[in-house]
Structure 1
Amino acid sequence: MAVSDRVHVRAPGKLNLFFEVGRAQDDGYHDVASAYQAVSLWEDVYARPADGFSVGVSGSVDLSGVPSDDRNLALRAARMVAQRLGHDGGVHLEIVKQVPVAGGMGGGSADAAAALVACDMLWGGELGSSELQRLAGRLGADVPFALMGGTAVGTGRGDQLSPALAKGRFDWVVVTAEEGLSTPDVYGRLDELRRRPDIRPAAASPDVDPAVLHALRAGNAVALAQHARNDLQVAALSLRPDLRDLLESGEQAGALAGLVSGSGPTVAFLAEGPEAALDLQVTLSASGHAALHVHGPVHGARVV
C-alpha cells in the first residue's frame, strides 16, 4: 500500500428540504424519509501519519461542544478505516469547521465522511465508494450522505440513500444559533407532542412528498418552498420558541420559505436566487443574526 504524507479532504454540510418522521421503533429510533441537499458550507479535514490517534479542531464556529477524544466521530471513522485495512499506525486529524456545531446541518457527519476518505487515501487503502458507504452507515445516519453529496432521498434511519435529480442551483440563507439543540431531545419532544390531537400524527410509512422531487427536478425554488416541510420543526420550536420569531422575520424579509434544518436550531431560508439571498442575508445580519448565504447542491467528501 502506498502511504501519503498528508491528505486534505473537504466535505459539505447539509440541509433537510423535507423531513417526515415515523413512529418510534422498539429500539427508540424513528424511521424517516428525507430529501437532503449538500450545501456550500464546508468542513476541511487534514490527515497525517502519527503513532496514535488524535484530533485537533479549529474554525469559524463555536467549538465548545466538539469532543477531542473517542467521542469524536471523525476519530472513530479513522480507527474504523485502520481496522478495516489492518493498518497498525495512527493518524492525527486536523479539522477546520465552518458548519455550526449541534445545528442540524450534519457537521460532525461531514467530519466523519472526510476522515474516511482521508485515511483511506493516506494509507493507500483504495477501499472504493461502496465499502466507504458501508463504513459510513455504521457511523451514523447522516455520514453516508456527506460522502455522497448532491441531492438525495434518505429512508430507513435516513441512511438508505438514492440520488435525486436537482436542476440548477438553489440559494439559501442559513441563520445559526449560539446554543445547539440535542437531537435526542428534539425527537423525544416530538413523541410527546404527537400525543396531542392538534399535532400531525406519525406516518405509518414515511415518504418524501413527490411534489418536492418534482420541484427539485424542475429547479423551481417557488414550488419547493410550497412543499418543504420538517416534522421535527414543531418540536424544535417548542424547545426554542425564539426560533418562531426568526422564521417570521425571514419570511417578512422576502424568503420564499423558512424551515428548521434537521433537529435545529439552525434555520434555513430559501431565496428566489443569488441576489434575493444576498438581500435577505444583509437584512437578517442587520437585525443581529448570524446569517450565511449558501447554495446547493454541491459535491460530497473529496480530496482537495
Structure 2
Amino acid sequence: MSIAQSPASVHVRAPGKINVYLGVGGRHEDGYHALATVFQAVSLYEDVIATAADDFSLSIAGSSGAGDGGPSDVPVDDRNLAMRAAKLLAGATGFAGGVHLELRKSVPVAGGMGGGSADAAAALVACDALWGTGLSTQRLHELAARLGADVPFALHGGTAVGTGRGDHLNPALARGRFDWVLVTSEHGLSTPEVYARLDSHRAESGALADDPPLSLDVPIPVLQALRSGDPHSLAASMFNDLEVSALLQCPALDDIISEGLRAGALSGIVSGSGPTIAFLCENPESAQYVQTQLQDAGRSALHVHGPVPGARIMS
C-alpha cells in the first residue's frame, strides 16, 4: 500500500508495567540473564502517533530540556526503541517509505516500568496500521521479541508469566483489580548497570543464581494470589531479585519503601530495574490515601491500577 492510500496518521496507546515477581538467573555468554517474571500492565500509558512520511523521524512531545531523566533525555535517533521498531517492521515487510513518530510519554524514563518497550510496541502496531502491512499478532510478537524482553508484553498487556529473557509469554489469570501507588524518582537507573551490579553482588557474597528464592519458576503462591484477586495474598508473595542491586546503587529507595509501608501500603518493591517503587494497596481508597501521604512527604506519587490491555489503536 502506498503512502497516498494510507491513513494520514495512527494513534496507538501502550501501557507501562510492573514486575509483580522477578527472578533472575545467572548471566549467559550472550550477556542476557534467564528470567522468570510476572508482568502486570498498569494504567500509565505511552502514546505514539505515527504520521505518513518519506523518511524516518521521531519527536518527543512535551520535552522540557530539563535533563532530569524526563522526556528530554530520550534519544530521537536509532537508539530509540520506537524508531528501531518502525525500521524493523519496514525491513521485515519490504515497505519502502518512512514515518514520523511522535511520542507522548507518561511512563517514567529509565524507571523500570518498560516505557521504552511500550513505545516500541505502540510503534509496531501504529506503523502496521499506517502502512497497511497487515501482520498477524504472532508475527508482531516475533518482531517485538527482537527488540527487547519487555516489548512483547507491552504488545499484549494484561497479566502474564514471562520466561526465557522474559519474552516467552503465557497469560496469567488475574481476577478483579489491583491498585498500586508508584513513587517515581528524578534520576533513572541503567538496566544493564543494575544487572551487572547484581552479578557482582552475587559473586562477592557467594550467592548462587539457583539458591532459594532465586528459582527460575514463578512461585505458585504468586499465581494463586493473582487468581484469587486478593491483594493481601499478592503482597505477601511479591519479590524482585533486582531490588538488592537497585538499593545498592540508590540506598535512598529503602527510605521510600519504609514511608509507603508506614502510610498503609500492603507491600512495596522496586519495579523492574528501578528506581520506581511500586506499592500494592488494599483498594482504591487506600491507594488514594497512601498517595496523599507520600505526596505530603514530598514524594512524586501516582495512583494506577491493573491489569489493563496492551497496545491498541485509539479511535
Shorter chain as denominator, the TM-score bin is over 0.9
Shift of 1:80: 1.1
Residue of structure 1 in register with 2:260 after alignment = 250
Secondary structure of the residue aligned to 2:11 is: strand
Paired AA for residue 209 in structure 2:
A
Flag structure 1 segments of 5+ consecutive residues without an equivalent: none
4+ residue segments displaced more than 3 Å: none
Is the CA contact 1:174–1:293 (under 8 Å) kept in the aligned structure 2?
yes
Q: Is 2:182 aligned against 1:174?
A: yes
Residue of structure 2 in register with 1:53 after alignment = 56
Among 232, 250, 256, the alignment partner of 1:240 is 250
Among 42, 46, 51, the alignment partner of 2:45 is 42
Partners of 1:5 and 1:203 in 2: how far apart? 52
User: 1:204-223 counterparts in 2 under 5 A?
Assistant: 206-223=216-233
Secondary structure of the residue aligned to 1:294 is: strand
Q: How high is the sequence identity, in percent, across the aligned residues?
A: 60
User: 1:241-280 counterparts in 2 under 5 A?
Assistant: 241-280=251-290
Secondary structure of the residue aligned to 1:100 is: coil
Partners of 1:290 and 1:235 in 2: how far apart? 22
Partners of 2:71 and 2:154 in 1: how far apart? 20
Is the CA contact 1:3–1:124 (under 8 Å) kept in the aligned structure 2?
yes
Among 155, 164, 169, the alignment partner of 1:161 is 169
Secondary structure of the residue aligned to 2:72 is: coil
Number of residue equivalences:
303
Among 2, 7, 10, the alignment partner of 1:7 is 10
Paired AA for residue 30 in structure 1:
H
User: Normalising by structure 1, what TM-score?
Assistant: 0.97
User: Normalising by structure 2, what TM-score?
Assistant: 0.94
User: 1:85-234 counterparts in 2 under 5 A?
Assistant: 85-197=93-205, 201-203=208-210, 206-234=216-244
Flag structure 2 segments of 5+ consecutive residues without an equivalent: 64-68
Partners of 1:254 and 1:59 in 2: how far apart? 34
Shift of 1:171: 0.2
Partners of 1:253 and 1:25 in 2: how far apart? 40
What RMSD in Å do the two structures reach over aligned CA positions?
1.3
Shift of 1:65: 2.1
Residue of structure 2 in register with 1:19 after alignment = 22
Shift of 1:4: 1.4
